[in-house]
Structure 1
Amino acid sequence: MTLITSVFHNFRLPADAGTPIFYAALGLAAACTFLKRSPSFAFRPPKNNSLFITFVKYVLVPVLLPLVPRITRVEVEGDGLNRLRQLKGKRVILTPNHAEATEPYVMFQLSKLLGEEFNYLTAREVFDAYFPAGRLLQAIGAYSVVRGMPDRNALRTTTEILMEGKHWLVIFPEGVAVGLSDNLMPFQPGIGQFAFRAYENLVRKDGDVHLYFVPLAIKMVYVHAMDSAIDRALQRLEGKLLPRGFPGAATPQERLLRLGEALLDASEKKYGVRQPAGIALSDRINFMRELIISRTARALNIQERPDRILPDRIRDLINALDQIIYRKVNERGADKQLLRQEKLEAQALRKRLETAVNFMGLDECYLNQQMTTERFMDIIGLMEREVFGTRRFWGIRKAVVRIGEPLDLKNYADQYRVNKKGALQEISMTLESTVRAMLLELSDLCKPLKSLG
């Protein structure tokens, strides 16, 4: 997924990190390669170009990795690489976490370490968001999927990739990146459906077939003291959100909370919300999130389900909006002007929904966990996305990768024949719990905020 950066942007890599430099270079190359822009709804198939992939791996990536996502190196823990090498020549689906939209960079680097080419299931909007550079994603193996709806082209292509067995497949089961590296969105059960279609076709041909899911946990860890960087990041937000001459605060945590209150004040004013004095910050945040979610659901005529966990509710709305945004507009008898207007309205709702996502970092449960450098910078990043429209990475990190035990689809085949939904849910939950446990263990690599410097 990443023509090196865009695919690394997989399910939406907002210009999250100085991507303009990279996209300027890729845009120039794309302009020479692709002269015509495809319709916005067109499926983007993978077009692996081994020569171009080699160029990206050995020329572009070494330059861009420390510049764009600010990753100086990728470390695979323990015998992780050997575990993956033992699966060479087999059909494999890699299922990493996807917190900040830079994980695709890490997966591309992992393909280099293994000497393999991957294919990457990539959200449809990525290809449009970075046109013309987005067109080059296909050359490194990315192909598109419209989330939250049956995408026959994506299903067929995934089946073909797995049946051919030439390239490993990378799928990010969370579907969206919310920007919190210590949080894991629930995995979508549909990932097993992709695999079982290929598996059943292969069984009819060969009988004894193995198709492996491999869970991966990716953790970004700052490699230097971040005291001065944190101060600069806070000053940048304070310059935008606080009036000049506003009294200073003693600690980074106090400054962060003050910024959170200022950001919330601005959002409440924008949405016409007036809260009584003395309401706790966490209650105000929860109210704003619920307001945005309920208004979005009402605009889409979707029955809201407040009993479900917040990430699932937000993801359902994102998927519903994507269905409108990427719906075909060339069908016979369709009112094209009406469809275009609905698309514009859906894009506006999508942007508003980002506010609910950005406020997740100010959740009381998240703030009350041990505050590490990485967690603190995640929250700053969400504030930056809300205020400036994009996140900035303020320090050099390393990406630490932990490889879980492979899960053989063959072991679920009998269950799938009897209860398809149950088998798919069990596969999804097993992968999710494994990645969650590995992420928790990797969090020990992070420094508590108080020990910075």
Structure 2
Amino acid sequence: MPSPITQVQPPLEFIPPDFDPLVYRGMCAVLPSWMKLRVAIADVEVENTKQLVELFQQFQAGKTRFLLAFRHPTPDDPFSLLWLLSRSVPQTARELGVSLQKPVHAHFIYDRGIPLWAGKFVGWLLPKMGCVPVKRGKADLVSLKAVRDLFANGQFPMAASPEGGTNGHNEIVSPLEPGIAQFGFWCVEDLQKAKRTETVALLPVGIQYHYITPPWRSLEQLLLDLEYDTGIRASVSPTAYLGLQDGTEPTLEQQTQLYQRLLNLGETLLTQMENYYSKYYGRSLVLPDLPADADPNARLAARLKSLLDTALRVAEEFFAIAPKGSLTDRCRRLEQAGWERIFREDLNLEALSPAERGLADRIAEEADLRIWHMRLVENFVSVTGRYVMEKPTAERFAETLLLLRNMVNRLKGEAPKPPLRLGPRRVVMTVGTPLSVSDRAEQYRANRREAVTQLTQDLQTAMESLIR
């Protein structure tokens, strides 16, 4: 959120999709300039667009319903996907001699919390683009009903990120949430009840970003700034530079030094955070019993895992929530618990006495403060500790440093900042092979949970196969 919450808020109302063709055309018109000037995407490549053209042709002919399940490494992905649908697909259709009705678009599912930090304009824009919100940490019946109806009857196909949010990594797919598979099976059920013959499919789409000119100089500057912010350096003097240059691959010695400094930065931050939770929250972080000569990356990964668990437990104890499930599951439940204390559905705020309002404000303020621990964890749920070492590319260095920048900014008490652009990028989108949901209808009728789990796992495998 842009600033600390100190007052109770009215409930978060459902924002119904309200697609406006004029707004859509306006967004498409400014998209090339926006991508180049504001999000530093200078080139777009799409692989296997023909598959998506065929699905849209079948959708518009009333033969199929589908959901575009896309990777979500960065906040810039919606712009890339809008380019895919509004430009790449129509262009390929023309080349193939396929006539598609305009607009070629999708109903995107988004997190209801996005307008809270992205601002009023985004809160207005998303429904005008036909997007539908969901609350991630609860069974949001109004939103789920809207998604279900759009999947079966909407003007466009659906689109959503099965990862549930950005993970900051080009080459790691976070564990997928089962909701996307469940939406697919619900659509099959709804079509069968209506005696309709359309098939239902999930279409995996990979998204990756590559720097056109590897920004080694910019990466070194970001590393130096973070070293200063964490106290590793008292100042950033000219002698601190390794002499890296954009577009020039570092020497083996420079690469080794850069990686060692990245490792040292991570260890420094871990030590500071471990001391913080130990001294002020009485937490004794439990680490696995690793041998003295264990790989430093394995040791760092073990410490990080323990730290993330500790941070979530601090918040969970405040909200009286049991630590259950994956880190992502725990983050979702904590977010919802915080929202329930901030955006009050159980109170008539106008009817409260001044004293009651003051107590409600106090509860909201404390909830927001505790959610801070969860926000720290959100950035690191996919960090492995070996990501850069396994493949020390400019992209992997950048992804890791940008995650650490987000953490340091939170420690400094700063509001979330726009993503840092280190240089012009090329986005590569890869359209995969559709996964039929209709073909699994019998399995779903026999064992719903097993069918959802299996489809989610198959989608995970399919999305991981799209990483280049």
SS of the aligned residue for 2:75 comes to coil
Deviations 1:35-86 (A, max 9, x none): xxx9551101111001110110112x11211233322233111344444444
Cα distance in 2, alignment partners of residues 117 and 158 from structure 1: 16
SS of the aligned residue for 2:36 comes to coil
CA contact (8 A) 1:146 1:326 kept: no
CA contact (8 A) 1:233 1:394 kept: no
Given the alignment of the two structures, is residue 180 of structure 1 paired with residue 169 of structure 2, yes or no? Answer: yes
Alignment of 1:235-384 (within 5 A): 235-241=224-230, 242-244=232-234, 248=240, 251-273=257-279, 280-305=299-324, 309-322=326-339, 324-326=341-343, 328-330=345-347, 340-359=361-380, 363-384=384-405
Cα distance in 2, alignment partners of residues 70 and 40 from structure 1: 36
2:73 maps to what in 1? 99
- Please, which moves more after superposition, 88-97 or 71-80? 71-80
Given the alignment of the two structures, is residue 136 of structure 1 paired with residue 107 of structure 2, yes or no? Answer: no
Residue identity in the other structure for 1:66: K
Cα distance in 1, alignment partners of residues 285 and 203 from structure 2: 47
Cα distance in 2, alignment partners of residues 149 and 265 from structure 1: 34
CA contact (8 A) 1:361 1:379 kept: no
- Please, which moves more after superposition, 216-225 or 81-90? 81-90
CA contact (8 A) 1:216 1:401 kept: yes
Q: Which has the larger radius of gyration?
A: 2
Residue identity in the other structure for 2:441: A
Given the alignment of the two structures, is residue 152 of structure 1 paired with residue 141 of structure 2, yes or no? Answer: yes
Deviations 1:175-213 (A, max 9, x none): 122322222222111223333333323222234231221
> What's the RMSD between the two structures over aligned residues?
3.1
Given the alignment of the two structures, is residue 395 of structure 1 paired with residue 419 of structure 2, yes or no? Answer: no
CA contact (8 A) 1:80 1:402 kept: no
Cα distance in 2, alignment partners of residues 326 and 87 from structure 1: 42
Cα distance in 2, alignment partners of residues 409 and 103 from structure 1: 25
Cα distance in 2, alignment partners of residues 87 and 263 from structure 1: 52
Cα distance in 1, alignment partners of residues 359 and 139 from structure 2: 23
Residue identity in the other structure for 2:25: T
Deviations 1:323-373 (A, max 9, x none): 555552446999766555444333222222232344557642434422222
2:29 maps to what in 1? 58
Among 193, 203, 214, the alignment partner of 1:204 is: 193
Cα distance in 2, alignment partners of residues 123 and 366 from structure 1: 28
CA-CA distance at 1:281 after TM superposition: 4.0
Cα distance in 1, alignment partners of residues 341 and 200 from structure 2: 34
Give % identity.
24
Residue identity in the other structure for 1:64: W
Given the superposition, is the C-alpha separation of residues 50 and 96 from structure 1 closer, same or farther in structure 2, using an over 3 Å criterion?
same
1:67 maps to what in 2? 37
- Please, which moves more after superposition, 380-389 or 254-263? 254-263
Deviations 1:136-166 (A, max 9, x none): 2111112211112111111121122123241
Residue identity in the other structure for 2:175: P
Higher RCO (Cα < 8 Å, 6 or more apart):
2
Cα distance in 2, alignment partners of residues 319 and 101 from structure 1: 21
Unaligned 5+ residue runs, structure 1?
1-11, 16-37, 443-453
SS of the aligned residue for 2:429 comes to strand
Given the superposition, is the C-alpha separation of residues 314 and 159 from structure 1 closer, same or farther in structure 2, using an over 3 Å criterion?
closer
